[in-house]
Every structure is written in C-alpha cells, then in structure tokens.
Amino acid sequence: MDAHRLVRDCIKERPEAQRQLYDEFSEVMLGVCYRYTKSIMDAEDVMQEGFIKVFRNIGQFKFEGELGGWIRRIMVNTALNYLKQNRNYQSDLSFFDNGMHPVSDDNPDVKLLARDLADLVRQLPTGYQTIFNLYAVEGFTHVEIGKMLGINEGTSRSQYARARGLLITWLEKQKEEHNKTATYVRP
C-alpha cells in the first residue's frame, strides 16, 4: 500500500481509495474502539464516527508519522468523546481520589491470552478502563491523560493504580480457581 497515494486519493474523495483505507485499518481500529466500550455495537458506532472524522480531516495528515498511528489517535479521541456524551457511560466515567484502599504492586504469575486480559479490562469500571487503556495500551503519559480527560495527573495515576490493582486481584482469583480445578482429578 502506497500511503502517500492513498491519502492523496482520499483527499480527492475517491470512493475506491476511501474503501481501501477503511479495509486496511478497520479491523485494527475496531479493536481500539472496543477497548474503550462495553459492547461491540458501541465499538462499531465509535469506529464509524472515527472514520467519518478521518475522511473529513485526511488533508491534515502530514506524513510525520505512520498513517495508522494518526488514525488510531482519532479513534481514541472519538472513543473518549463517545464515553463523555453517552448516557450509558457517563455515570461510570467518574474520576475520584477518595474511598478506595491502596493497591498492591505484586504481579500475578498467570499466563493469559491477550483476549482474556482484554475481557478483564473491559469489566473494569469505565473510568478505570479508560485510563488503563490510555496509559498501558496506548502509551500516553499521565500528564497527557489528565489533559485529555480534564483531570489532574495525580488522579490519572491513582485511577491507573486502582485499575491495575483490580486486575491483579481478579487474576490472582482466577489463578486460585484454576489451581483448585487442576488439582482435583477423578480416580
């Protein structure tokens, strides 16, 4: 795929180029959107809105990085806006600093498939899930996350620590349950 040519053709609003760009990136971007939502239907809505923004703003892509990275950033921002605007997520998208116990830094000794871990992350409260994905998956700093979400850096750090702590607790529980079932063997 020649990215320069593809972008030029998308700027000219050529349907075949738009289709090619969509086909090239839609599967990966659906995964990005799904990390921030609780259902595949919501993820598809976010992705569609994201691609509308991509096509509307494709002329702003300056080839200073990868095209896929530029599209990913649009998808992440679209997902964040979706969470802020959608009633189903608003009550869960609260960021607070009190009322939670400290978390452990222990790492569980559990081997999981990426899909299993993604399913666990999706079970986190929306605020935790969002910050966990922005920091651990997308690689944003806590300062950047704070600016994106309108919270302070410390809140981002504490929400990430709490999300991580919940995941560790859940992973340890899964490990215990797995060990219990693995040690019981019928004669």
Residue 46: give its domain's CATH number.
1.10.1740.10
Output the domain CATH number for residue 128. Answer: 1.10.10.10
Question: Are 118 and 70 found together in one domain?
Answer: no
Which residue's entry shows tokens 């919270």?
A: 151
Do 86 and 11 lie in one domain? The reply is: yes
Domain boundary among 90, 122, 148: 90
Residue 95: inside a domain: no
72 lies in some domain: yes
Based on the number of CB atoms within 10 Å of its own CB, is 72 exposed (0-12), middle (13-18) or buried (19 or more)? middle
Q: How far apart are CA 30 and CA 133, in angstroms?
A: 14
Evaluate whether 44 touches 2 at the Cβ level (below 8 Å): no
Domain that holds residue 48: 3-90
Same domain, yes or no, for 76 and 39?
yes
* In a shared domain, residues 74 and 11: yes
Residue 96 lies in a domain: no
**Which of 125, 115, 109, 129 is CA-nearest to residue 174?**
109
User: Is position 45 within any domain?
Assistant: yes
29 and 70: one domain?
yes
In a domain, 106, yes or no: no
Choosing from 90, 123, 151, the residue where a domain stops is: 90
Are 83 and 128 in the same domain? no
- pLDDT tens string, the chain, 187 residues long: the values are 799 999 999 999 999 999 999 999 999 999 999 999 988 999 999 999 999 999 999 999 999 999 999 999 999 999 999 998 887 775 555 554 433 333 334 444 444 566 778 888 989 998 999 999 999 999 999 999 999 999 999 999 999 999 999 999 988 888 887 777 766 555 5
Q: Pull the structure tokens for residue 179.
A: 């060990």
Whose tokens are 């090619």? That residue is: 20
Residue 44 maps to a domain: yes
CB 129 within 8 A of CB 121: yes
97 belongs to a structural domain: no
Q: So what's the pLDDT on residue 72?
A: 96
The count of structural domains within the chain is 2
99 within a domain of the structure (yes/no): no
C-beta separation of 48 from 30 below 8 A: no
User: pTM of the full predicted structure?
Assistant: 0.71
- The reply to whether 80 and 159 lie within a common domain is no
Q: Please tell me whether residues 65 and 130 are part of one structural domain.
A: no
- Looking at the structure, tell me whether residues 121 and 177 fall in a common domain: yes
